[in-house]
Amino acid sequence: MGSHQLQPKAFSTTVQDDILTVTLYRDFDSGRLNQDWGQFVVASHPGPFAQVRLDLAQCGRLNSTFIAGLIRLYAAYAAQGTQRVVLVAPDKRLLANLKMLRFDQYFIVA
Protein backbone atom coordinates (compact mmCIF):
# COMPACT_ATOMS: atom_id res chain seq x y z
CA MET A 1 0.00 0.00 0.00
CA GLY A 2 1.29 3.39 -0.94
CA SER A 3 0.76 6.39 1.20
CA HIS A 4 -0.92 9.44 -0.23
CA GLN A 5 0.06 12.83 1.01
CA LEU A 6 -2.34 15.67 0.50
CA GLN A 7 -0.90 18.54 -1.46
CA PRO A 8 -1.07 21.81 0.46
CA LYS A 9 -3.75 24.21 -0.68
CA ALA A 10 -2.57 27.52 -2.13
CA PHE A 11 -5.86 29.45 -2.08
CA SER A 12 -9.63 29.20 -1.97
CA THR A 13 -12.48 31.35 -3.24
CA THR A 14 -15.92 32.22 -1.92
CA VAL A 15 -18.72 34.35 -3.31
CA GLN A 16 -21.27 35.92 -1.01
CA ASP A 17 -23.54 38.93 -1.58
CA ASP A 18 -21.84 39.90 -4.86
CA ILE A 19 -18.40 39.90 -3.20
CA LEU A 20 -15.64 37.57 -4.38
CA THR A 21 -13.12 36.72 -1.68
CA VAL A 22 -9.87 34.96 -2.51
CA THR A 23 -8.04 33.61 0.55
CA LEU A 24 -4.36 32.81 0.20
CA TYR A 25 -2.93 30.18 2.53
CA ARG A 26 0.44 29.82 4.20
CA ASP A 27 1.65 27.40 1.51
CA PHE A 28 0.77 29.75 -1.36
CA ASP A 29 4.43 30.38 -2.16
CA SER A 30 5.44 26.69 -1.97
CA GLY A 31 6.62 25.13 -5.19
CA ARG A 32 4.18 25.51 -8.06
CA LEU A 33 0.99 25.83 -6.04
CA ASN A 34 0.47 29.42 -7.08
CA GLN A 35 1.11 29.02 -10.81
CA ASP A 36 -1.55 30.86 -12.82
CA TRP A 37 -3.68 31.47 -9.74
CA GLY A 38 -5.04 34.79 -11.02
CA GLN A 39 -6.07 33.25 -14.32
CA PHE A 40 -7.75 30.36 -12.49
CA VAL A 41 -9.74 32.75 -10.26
CA VAL A 42 -10.93 34.89 -13.19
CA ALA A 43 -11.87 31.81 -15.26
CA SER A 44 -13.72 30.23 -12.31
CA HIS A 45 -15.49 33.43 -11.26
CA PRO A 46 -15.95 35.65 -14.33
CA GLY A 47 -18.03 38.23 -12.47
CA PRO A 48 -18.99 40.98 -12.43
CA PHE A 49 -18.69 41.59 -8.69
CA ALA A 50 -19.39 44.63 -6.57
CA GLN A 51 -16.13 43.96 -4.75
CA VAL A 52 -13.13 41.64 -5.03
CA ARG A 53 -11.27 40.96 -1.78
CA LEU A 54 -7.91 39.25 -1.39
CA ASP A 55 -7.44 37.89 2.15
CA LEU A 56 -3.73 37.74 2.94
CA ALA A 57 -4.00 37.18 6.71
CA GLN A 58 -2.55 33.64 6.52
CA CYS A 59 0.11 34.40 3.93
CA GLY A 60 3.43 36.11 4.55
CA ARG A 61 6.11 35.98 1.88
CA LEU A 62 4.88 36.44 -1.68
CA ASN A 63 6.69 36.34 -5.01
CA SER A 64 6.33 37.91 -8.44
CA THR A 65 3.78 35.28 -9.47
CA PHE A 66 1.52 36.67 -6.75
CA ILE A 67 1.93 40.21 -8.07
CA ALA A 68 1.21 39.06 -11.64
CA GLY A 69 -1.99 37.35 -10.44
CA LEU A 70 -2.98 40.44 -8.48
CA ILE A 71 -2.63 42.59 -11.60
CA ARG A 72 -4.63 40.01 -13.58
CA LEU A 73 -7.46 40.22 -11.02
CA TYR A 74 -7.46 43.99 -11.18
CA ALA A 75 -7.45 44.09 -14.99
CA ALA A 76 -10.22 41.51 -15.38
CA TYR A 77 -12.59 42.88 -12.76
CA ALA A 78 -11.91 46.60 -13.33
CA ALA A 79 -13.01 46.10 -16.94
CA GLN A 80 -16.39 45.03 -15.49
CA GLY A 81 -16.75 48.00 -13.18
CA THR A 82 -15.19 46.72 -9.93
CA GLN A 83 -13.24 49.65 -8.51
CA ARG A 84 -10.06 48.29 -6.92
CA VAL A 85 -9.11 44.96 -5.41
CA VAL A 86 -9.31 45.13 -1.60
CA LEU A 87 -6.27 43.69 0.18
CA VAL A 88 -7.22 42.28 3.58
CA ALA A 89 -4.45 42.07 6.21
CA PRO A 90 -1.47 42.45 3.84
CA ASP A 91 2.09 42.24 5.10
CA LYS A 92 3.78 45.65 5.41
CA ARG A 93 6.60 44.49 3.11
CA LEU A 94 4.06 43.65 0.41
CA LEU A 95 2.53 47.11 0.67
CA ALA A 96 5.98 48.70 0.42
CA ASN A 97 6.77 46.61 -2.66
CA LEU A 98 3.47 47.48 -4.35
CA LYS A 99 4.12 51.16 -3.67
CA MET A 100 7.68 50.95 -5.02
CA LEU A 101 6.36 49.30 -8.22
CA ARG A 102 3.61 51.97 -8.37
CA PHE A 103 0.91 49.29 -8.22
CA ASP A 104 -0.57 50.67 -5.00
CA GLN A 105 -2.95 52.86 -7.03
CA TYR A 106 -4.84 49.76 -8.15
CA PHE A 107 -5.60 48.38 -4.68
CA ILE A 108 -7.00 49.49 -1.35
CA VAL A 109 -6.24 48.07 2.08
CA ALA A 110 -9.01 46.95 4.42
Distance in angstroms (rounded) separating the CA atoms of residues 75 and 69: 10
In a domain, 4, yes or no: no
Distance in angstroms (rounded) separating the CA atoms of residues 6 and 8: 6
The answer to whether 21 touches 53, Cβ cutoff 8 Å, is yes
In a domain, 60, yes or no: yes
Number of domains the chain contains: 1
* Model pLDDT for residues 38-84, shown as the tens digit of each residue: 888 999 999 999 999 999 988 766 677 888 888 899 999 999 998 88
In a domain, 47, yes or no: yes
pTM here? 0.83
In a domain, 1, yes or no: no
